[in-house]
Chain A
């Protein structure tokens, strides 16, 4: 079998872990080859030229070779400055990484997801409404992977969504007209579904409802396995009580 070489590939690093004495195993999200696992040999050594480039949230140009499941890095460098995520934005970035790691199969290219990911990262460092950036990325991700949400017509008769009406959104079906007797799915207003579709500014209710809505859809596709970054985010930024919980006192 021919040894496959790839060069000059735009990519982001999703995750890294130490491997053997001085190497690093990395999960890379590349534009044309999708998610791949590579070994960066000797990358933890002091003299490695790659050391400063193996960082998440930074546009990279990567090259690799190999025919197995795990490729070998032959070159990797930063392209342009890092997105510089700090504070909450950083943990939003990790959350996006976990979604990509969990929902994309290896070697399954998704250029659209890649471009949306790059765009969302850039927005996270500048835009104040980080939740909206995440919701739109999640919506696009689900759509690009073929799990698109139904946001303009109800799943019952295909009637247009009415912004003033309430619906019950079922992850397996879509929005159904609200009824008091049916407790399946998440209760949302039509306005929330349309705001997600049109990607307009979010008001407080849209923010709250869209979070619960997309969470239920994601959980459905993740097969009920909890997202680690979501748990850690909860520890770092507890909803109300300020810092008491964090200090453990």
Chain B
């Protein structure tokens, strides 16, 4: 038996999050991800962890992600020079999804931005965080600057029971609306708690000082509805939720429009056209992109993995799977991929070349599992 199509972790020294000991004591299987020793799953297994998240609530250590602080009187204006999102329009403690774009209109990283008091708090991908920081420090003008908050941990509590669990420890958390954040106290620890996540479920992301992470984790993991979930379940949950994974569904060659992320480009920003890659991005907004990210449902049970060739009804190559696997809540294989615009309509019949054999599939709407966000 041998695993195919997967790079090894390499031998360089790996970093640990402040919750490493908690993962080991829970019996996690650890893997190297973005230079960190991370729990890919606990003894329950990926499918059980996935299902528990959709049914109750799961706790994820996502401390490997980059937390970057941007400051300066004109921080929002300065950041807008690097992203197409409307940052100046962010109300205090509001949160917004955007991308760092290149001059060629590709995506250097995708991120969340919170207007956290007088600063901006950016949550970026682990594998990109050092490059992002350098990019920000180079590109931020108007006397603004950025620094990595590398002494902070990030914990996600996700699932339909997350709100009830959180309310026991932070009564005010019930008033934190979807895609907003607040500075609140949890277990006597100062935290920035946002109503957000990467699973398609209601939930929170909790930023705390590294030395307080174990205390917060212990409080939440002992709640009866809560179980730990690893990166494996995080990936299957986000795939079912139709959310992009950087380096797979989006990268430096992919534009936000191709990726179906045009909703995140502010109306004012479209009019002003003053963000990196605006020429390509605005042109694609008007004329439509040449290729589009779509949901793909393989028929049968065989998963189609990243890199799988996509054919149209006439057996011409029209694209490639960018993320694919098994969706435990769907109960079958699910995938996302890029196809030529002419093949992107819902219900378009496609073939996926899996191990040399074309297998039928069709274009379906994203997400695969309805989002269950808290939107009163």
Q: Does A pair with B?
A: no
Identify the A interface with B (CB < 8 A): none
